[in-house]
């Protein structure tokens, strides 16, 4: 066998091409969405704050609070209620509002990462194909 036309007449080669494409497509799709997934908006602790019912605004950094999202766990909830209460007693009802600020998604970076990973995936699969042709046909660029 010296050409890809001769290879196409073999059932094992056609089956291998199907496996190649079924492996390439999900990896290429994952590479396409990688930029979108890696540049998701993040919770900004420096700009987010607590607005008490009496109008005071309390920042997280100066009060030693760090949140990963706008979800407030029960221990932070108690801390917020105590910080917003007029005296040292513990408030039972929610007396604050969490003002959540998120960083925006950088779309140029997301598109750049996606294209970079799509190029890497395409190059990798092309390299696999060329190595296969070299092993089976003895040439990196076989004749048709």
pLDDT tens digits, one per residue of 51-90? 988 888 888 877 778 887 777 777 788 888 888 887 766 6
Angle formed by the axes of helices 11-38 and 107-137, to 10°?
160
Q: What is the pLDDT of residue 88?
A: 64
pLDDT of residue 4: 81
Domain boundaries of the chain, sorted by first residue: 4-40+105-137, 49-99
Q: By CB neighbour count within 10 A (0-12 exposed, 13-18 middle, 19+ buried), where does 46 fall?
A: exposed
Contact 144, 1 (CB under 8 A): no
Low-confidence ranges of the chain (pLDDT < 50): none
CA dist 11 and 17 (Å) reads 10
What pTM value is reported for the model? Answer: 0.64
Burial class of residue 49 (count of CB atoms within 10 Å of its CB; 0-12, 13-18, 19+): buried
* Alpha carbon distance 84, 49 (integer Å): 12
pLDDT at 1: 63
CA-based R_g, the chain, Å = 28
Both tokens of residue 78? 């108690």
């Amino acid at each position: 066998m010296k050409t890809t036309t001769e290879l196409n007449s073999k059932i094992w080669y056609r089956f291998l091409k199907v496996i190649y494409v079924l492996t390439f497509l999900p990896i290429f799709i994952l590479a396409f969405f990688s930029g979108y997934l890696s540049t998701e908006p993040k919770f900004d602790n420096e700009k987010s704050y607590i607005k008490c019912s009496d109008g005071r605004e309390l920042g997280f950094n100066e009060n030693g609070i760090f949140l990963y999202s706008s979800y407030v766990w029960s221990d932070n909830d108690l801390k917020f209620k105590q910080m917003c209460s007029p005296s040292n007693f513990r408030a039972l009802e929610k007396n604050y509002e969490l003002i959540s600020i998120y960083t925006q998604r950088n779309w140029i970076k997301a598109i750049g990462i996606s294209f970079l990973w799509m190029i890497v995936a395409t190059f990798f699969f092309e390299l696999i194909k060329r190595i296969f042709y070299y092993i089976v046909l003895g040439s990196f660029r076989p004749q048709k």
